[in-house]
Amino acid sequence: MSLPLQPQNTSSQARSNTGLVFSTGIHRVLNACIDLIFPPCCAGCDRVDQFWCERCQLTLESLPIQNVIKQDVASIAFVAATGTHDGILRKAVQGLKYRNVRQLGEELGIRLAATARMQEWTIDIMIPVPLHADRLKQRGYNQAQVICEYAAEQLELPCVPQALKRERYSQSQVGLSAKERKENVADAFSAAPNLVSGNTVLIVDDVCTTGSTLNECAQALIAAGARQVYALTVTAAITA
């Protein structure tokens, strides 16, 4: 006699399954009510009904790659961005980061991969800038990792998020001066030598403002034995 592969449905499980169906039903009704009171609106144009509308998607898809280059980030050989931090690109980055529009990760990853192909880089591994565990818990996902995974797939390179860790919780860089940004992320990261040593690394993030976060990541990677570090971001803020 063969044993069943799945445990049989006991009466208590049946009751809990019924409860699950019931609570899922309530959840759906509640969500529908919330949508009626607070309808979703597009992160790009605020048009009601969708979190990211087709018109904004078309605008994003047709936006040329600007290939913005920053060469003033001390520990990094080269920083490239797909465009400047404005217009639809900025809205898309913010939609992914703050408004939970995860579908944007794919288009932004495609742009990132296209920008990477414009450079003369030989990359071994790609690593997203990590969030601290507490922030990851709050947000539910790391937007840099979402973008990095799509880009790595396009470039057929390994995405190794576990190679870099944010050890220290630091406040958001938004609104801080260049000096404050540098201090805010100083020694915040550590890298795993067994994953990094001898490799040329491409760090991925959504935005590069002063480059202080990328610089700290690069320092941790170099300390762990990385041969060379490049960085790629969706947008770069061009500051004086």
Which one of residues 41, 45, 114, 186 is an interface residue with Zn ion (CB under 5 A)?
45
Instruction: Specify burial of residue 166 (Cβ count, 10 A radius: 0-12, 13-18, 19+).
Output: buried
* Residue 172: partners with Cβ closer than 8 Å, 6 or more residues away: none
Q: How far is the CB of 215 from Zn ion (least distance, A)?
A: 34
Q: What is the dihedral of CA 108, 109, 111, 116, to 10 degrees?
A: 140
60 near Zn ion, judged by CB under 5 A: no
Listed ranges 50-58, 59-67, 173-181, 205-213: which one lies at the site for Zn ion (CB under 5 A): 50-58
Give CA separation, 172 vs 67, 122, 176, 180, 218, in Å: 26, 32, 8, 11, 19
Listed ranges 55-63, 154-162, 165-173, 196-204: which one lies at the site for Zn ion (CB under 5 A): 55-63
53 near Zn ion, judged by CB under 5 A: yes
89 near Zn ion, judged by CB under 5 A: no
* Residue 65: partners with Cβ closer than 8 Å, 6 or more residues away: 82, 83, 111, 114, 115, 118
Listed ranges 9-17, 41-49, 144-152, 214-222: which one lies at the site for Zn ion (CB under 5 A): 41-49
104 near Zn ion, judged by CB under 5 A: no
Please calculate the CA angle 220-224-228 and round it to the nearest 5 degrees: 80
95 near Zn ion, judged by CB under 5 A: no
Cα-to-chain-centroid distance, residue 195: 20
* Distance, CA of 221 to CA of 60 (rounded, Å): 33
Q: How far is the CB of 54 from Zn ion (least distance, A)?
A: 8
Listed ranges 37-45, 94-102, 141-149, 156-164: which one lies at the site for Zn ion (CB under 5 A): 37-45
* Distance, CA of 173 to CA of 135 (rounded, Å): 13
Task: Please identify, using beta-carbon distances, which residue of 30 and 58 lies nearer to Zn ion.
Answer: 58
56 near Zn ion, judged by CB under 5 A: yes
136 near Zn ion, judged by CB under 5 A: no
203 near Zn ion, judged by CB under 5 A: no
Residues that bind Zn ion (CB under 5 A): 42, 44-45, 53, 56
